[in-house]
Amino acid sequence: MVNAFRDISGFKEWLSARGGKPGEATGDMIAGIEAVDREISAFIRVDKDAIIARAEELERSGPAGDLYAVPVAIKNNICIKNSLTTCASRILEDFRPPYNATVIEKLLAEGAIPVAGANMDEFAFGSSCETSYFGPTRNPWDTERIPGGSSGGSAAAVAGGAVVAALGSDTGGSIRQPAAMCGVVGMKPTYGRVSRYGLIAFASSLDQIGPITRSVKDCALMLRAISGYDPLDSTSVNVEVPDYVKSVESPVKGLRIGIPEEYFPEGIDPDVKRRIDEAVDIFRSMGAEIREISLPHTKYAVSCYYIIAPAEASSNLARYDGVHYGHRTRSAESLVDMYFRSRNEGFGPEVKRRVLLGTYSLSSGYYDAYYLKAQKVRTRISEDFKKAFNECDVILTPTAPTTAFKLAEKMDDPLTMYLSDIFTIPANLAGIPAISLPCGLDGKGLPVGLQLMAGAFREETIFSAAGAFEKACAFSGISSGRDDVG
């Protein structure tokens, strides 16, 4: 299957050439997944029996749904019934949920084949996909480099050709940043657009599930499939879901594109800056109106995020106590010792670091000084975006300040690692939609990501701009893969 297709349409052609029977094509499908995975470790575990069973079920029922028989990698913090859902952590290494996440039910309704177990940073805490208990994932463009995180397994699986689409989760950039570093398309929807029911929580006010694909059209197709109101999720918003696929074909003449000065600091990689400048020129040539704007509170976004997100994480992870489910130590002298040992053995260093940070900022005497102040800054950041969208329709920025760095290069420097998400975090704090798509290569031949943001529930505006850019730019081949990747 590897290199047999470049998008969902290509996959359907591949399947049709094999008689259109998923059950008979399953052997090739699994062989392709395993061949890619041996090189990049995109999956914690490939459940071949589950793939075969689903393919045979689809063959019996016949073609139905926009994603009929399409293999979709699922980040390992999204619950699939009876499938190992570990969050890449020892504390959940044997956990099998008794239910499906809502997004899984929606994919099944469209005929997809969920491929469980895409690797990730432990509990989605990371920007490089190196903190997984099961080992790091590697970037298909250069296996000595990180794929980005925390949805690194999902992005690498798509970029490497193991699957044609994937689901990830985005709390501070965890879909967009790996999509940028792996040269694929990744979308973080508006907060509330996609149900979080069945997503194992990191930071509940920031988390969103979204698609990773090889093309903008496929991204639109996937988002259309998983969007919609869900009464099982109290944060789900009951608003109409537009036809995102149709939006991809819309022209951009007259579209107002804002370029925020705060997203081009002195430390940005010159190659990244050059590719973004070229992208701006492409939009201008298509008739878009380019405007310089300001988002003045952007400089506080990282500090704000690393107070709010760990605070919510410390609360969400309190449930892993060695009693209800998950890892439990085999040696403890008391109840308190059992709690301590279970968590100490079950959690990795980055999880412990963030839980401690969050607990500290929520503690008596520090809540007002840190957490409450961070929430006020979050409001200011959101207000900046609302004001900006009075002047423009879309905001264009780099996705990340650099391209993919070497494995282990930043593991001993968490503060530098945290800055990898400097351009993606604000969209999560404001709850607005954002996409990353390829816009060229740097001097080392690594993908550069372009980020587009729009107002809440204006995903169709983003897809219009992204679709037009993908067609027009000289580097559009990256967004559907390249011959020597996958």
Exposed, middle or buried, 277 (CB in 10 Å: 0-12/13-18/19+)? exposed
Distance CA(320)–CA(328), nearest Å, equals: 9
Cα 329 to Cα 335: distance, rounded to the nearest angstrom: 11
Strand pairing category for 256-260 and 394-398 = parallel
Q: Put residue 190 in one of left, alpha, beta given phi > 0 → left and psi -120 to 50 → alpha.
A: beta
Query: How large is the angle between the packed helices 216-226 and 459-472, nearest 10 degrees?
Result: 160
**Which segments within 135-255 are labelled E, that is strand?**
165-170, 185-188, 208-213
Cα–Cα dist 286/282, whole Å: 6
CA dihedral of residues 326, 330, 331, 334 (deg, nearest 10): 50
For residue 184, the Cα-to-chain-centroid distance in whole angstroms is 11
User: Cα dist. 301→196, 419, 424 in Å?
Assistant: 23, 10, 9
Cβ-based burial of 244 (10 A; exposed 0-12, middle 13-18, buried ≥19): buried
Q: Would you please indicate which residues are annotated as catalytic (active-site) residues?
A: 75, 150, 174
Interior CA angle at 152 toward 149 and 157, to 5°?
165
Chain centroid to Cα 389, Å, comes to 24
One-letter-per-residue 3-state SS of 407-473: CCCCCCCHHHHHHHHCCCHHHHHHCCCEEEEEEEECCCCCEEEEEEECCCCCHHHHHHHHHHHHHHC
Please report the beta strands in 35-102, taking only residues with DSSP state E, as ranges in sequence order. 71-75
Nearest to 421 by CA among 153, 85, 121, 110: 121
- d(Cα 386, Cα 344) in Å, to the nearest integer? 43
Please check whether residue 178 is in contact with residue 148, taking contact to mean a CB–CB distance below 8 angstroms.
Answer: yes
Give the integer Cα–Cα distance in Å for 316 and 314: 6
State the virtual CA torsion across 433, 222, 287, 395 in degrees, nearest 10: 10
